[in-house]
Amino acid sequence: MECVWRTGTEITKTEAHAFYTFYQLTYEIRGQQGYLNQTFFDQIFSTLSDNIRLLVCYHDQQVVATALYFVDANTLYGRYWGSDQQFDLLHFEACYYQGIAYCIDHGLTCFNPSTQGEHKISRGFKPTLTYSYHAIYLDPFEQAIKRFCLDEKAHNRLYMAECEKNCPLKRSNVKTHPYHW
């Protein structure tokens, strides 16, 4: 297996096509369709090329997996992964280990491997809360959503405490971003 990093402008048509196919397959497995189209990815590959990193994994000279990342001056952000074949631990290699190595090699201080996934805890990623902001203008919905959010907040607090117990990293009093090295 060979994994190669590409910036937006370095991505070949074959690699871009493979990425989009894998992106759609990831959703199809769950009975859904990816919500972003090929045009969207083509546009960000060209307009955000300095901030795009596509990890392309080759086996026998064929693209078998890809992982899309975004990068800024300090942080690598993981987002979409996909493959059309099964390889032991390839998901973790493409989505975590290669990302960590990229951060180290490029002097980045933060790696955000994206949301979801208890499997990230055993790999040293501490769980963090994510936030969103919405305005709901129909009163009955607003009240129901507020109640749900309060219940979810209490549940998440307990869930995060339980996840924290399973984190393999040494405990420290140092307050840092959870993905800082």
pLDDT in tens, 132-168: 777 888 888 888 988 998 999 899 888 888 877 777 6
**What is residue 87's predicted lDDT score, i.e. its pLDDT?**
93
Distance in angstroms (rounded) separating the CA atoms of residues 9 and 52:
9
133 and 153, same domain (yes or no):
yes
pLDDT tens readout for residues 35-57:
999 999 999 999 999 999 999 99
Q: Rounded to whole angstroms, what are the CA distances from 102 to 58, 72, 77, 81, 89? A: 18, 13, 11, 16, 18
Range of the domain at 144: 116-181
Distance in angstroms (rounded) separating the CA atoms of residues 70 and 116:
17
16 and 100, same domain (yes or no):
yes
Q: Pick the range with the lowest mean pLDDT from 5-9, 42-46, 60-64, 79-83.
A: 79-83
pLDDT tens readout for residues 110-137:
888 776 666 666 666 666 666 777 788 8
Distance in angstroms (rounded) separating the CA atoms of residues 181 and 103:
9
Number of domains forming the structure of the chain: 2
Task: Calculate the average pLDDT of the chain.
Answer: 86
Q: Which of 114, 131, 157 is the last residue of a domain?
A: 114
Torsion sign over Cα 46, 47, 50, 54: negative
pTM score of the predicted model: 0.75
In the chain, beta strands by DSSP E? 2-7, 52-59, 62-71, 75-83, 110-112
Q: Which of 114, 133, 150 is the last residue of a domain?
A: 114
Give the CATH number of the domain where residue 66 resides: 3.40.630.30
**What is residue 167's predicted lDDT score, i.e. its pLDDT?**
73
87 and 107, same domain (yes or no):
yes
129 and 108, same domain (yes or no):
no
At 171, is the pLDDT very low, low, confident or very high (cuts 50, 70, 90)? low
